[in-house]
Amino acid sequence: MLAYCDLHIHSCLSPCANDEMTPWNLVGMAKVKGLDVIALTDHNCALNVPAAMAAGKTYGVEVIPGMEMTTREEVHLLAYFPDMESALDFSREVDAHLPDIANRETLFGNQIIVNLQDEPCGKVPKLLLNATDLTLDEACALTRKYHGINVPAHINRGGNGMLGVLGLMPPPPEYPVVEVAERIACPESAVKGRFVLHSSDAHRLEDISERGFTLDVAEVSARAVFDLLRNKMG
């Protein structure tokens, strides 16, 4: 079966995302757009995953718990998890690897945590945009510890894409699944032998993907999409 997916979406927890990107708003927008499975991937924090999953249950959108972490090399690395608890445990560990630098809201934006009803209930004090002190290898090992999988984000996008940062992609079988930003050129050699995802990396409601990118899964569920990606990991 084909599942319409957008596996890279930020909420109001990410300072660079619009405050209107509350979990319930973004899941509702995914529903309006006809998406089946989405992933919430805030920068270096998964604290809005519970609200997104609650919204997903109500709206009938499957939500994969995730994160977009920043490695020591400044590579953006997506992490997907099989369940909420694993994502939250992982998030606690990642927090300990972020530098103790406070967010300056006027400069970087708000880092809003919401409760299950989508009401603001706190803010993350540390700036989530900083790089963790975890190398790529350490970040992948930590993800595996919590039964998660890693997908390098927007590999072909200058700043924090793996290709731009490292200058080349580590050859397969490393990173068998990658995210490629559409509308930006990507050398064929970077994706050869790899499974490619296209997602929105939405920071605003209107940027969430239209019904377009699909994955062929056994059933239309977050778990089935996660399992498909995990199988691609070999």
Smaller CB separation from Zn ion, 143 or 217: 143
d(CA 205, CA 25): 8
For residue 67, the minimal CB distance to Zn ion (Å) is: 10
Minimal CB distance residue for Zn ion: 76
For residue 117, the minimal CB distance to Zn ion (Å) is: 25
Q: Interface with Zn ion includes 180 (CB under 5 A)?
A: no
Q: Interface with Zn ion includes 68 (CB under 5 A)?
A: yes
Q: Inter-axis angle of helices 84-96 and 49-59, to 10 degrees?
A: 160
b (16+ CB within 10 A) / e for 105-119: eeeebbbbbbeeebe
Among 39, 201, 202, 225, binds Zn ion (CB under 5 A): 201
Among 29, 38, 153, 202, binds Zn ion (CB under 5 A): 153
Smaller CB separation from Zn ion, 209 or 224: 209
Question: By CB under 5 A, which span of 59-67, 81-89, 153-161, 205-213 interacts with Zn ion?
Answer: 153-161
Smaller CB separation from Zn ion, 74 or 174: 74
Q: Where are the beta strands (DSSP E) in the chain?
A: 2-9, 37-40, 62-70, 76-80, 112-114, 120-123, 149-152, 177-179, 195-197, 214-216
R_g (Cα) of the chain, nearest Å: 16
Shortest CA distance to 215 belongs to which of 234, 190, 201, 196? Answer: 196
Residue 100 CA, chain-centre distance (Å), reads: 22
For residue 149, the minimal CB distance to Zn ion (Å) is: 17
For residue 157, the minimal CB distance to Zn ion (Å) is: 7
Among 76, 109, 178, 217, binds Zn ion (CB under 5 A): 76
Smaller CB separation from Zn ion, 10 or 224: 10
- The CA-based angle 49-26-8, given to 5 degrees, is 65
What is the residue whose two structure tokens read 């032998």?
Answer: 193
> How many residues in the shown chain lie near Zn ion by CB under 5 A?
4
Q: Interface with Zn ion includes 13 (CB under 5 A)?
A: no
Interacting residue ranges for Zn ion, rule: CB under 5 A = 68, 76, 153, 201
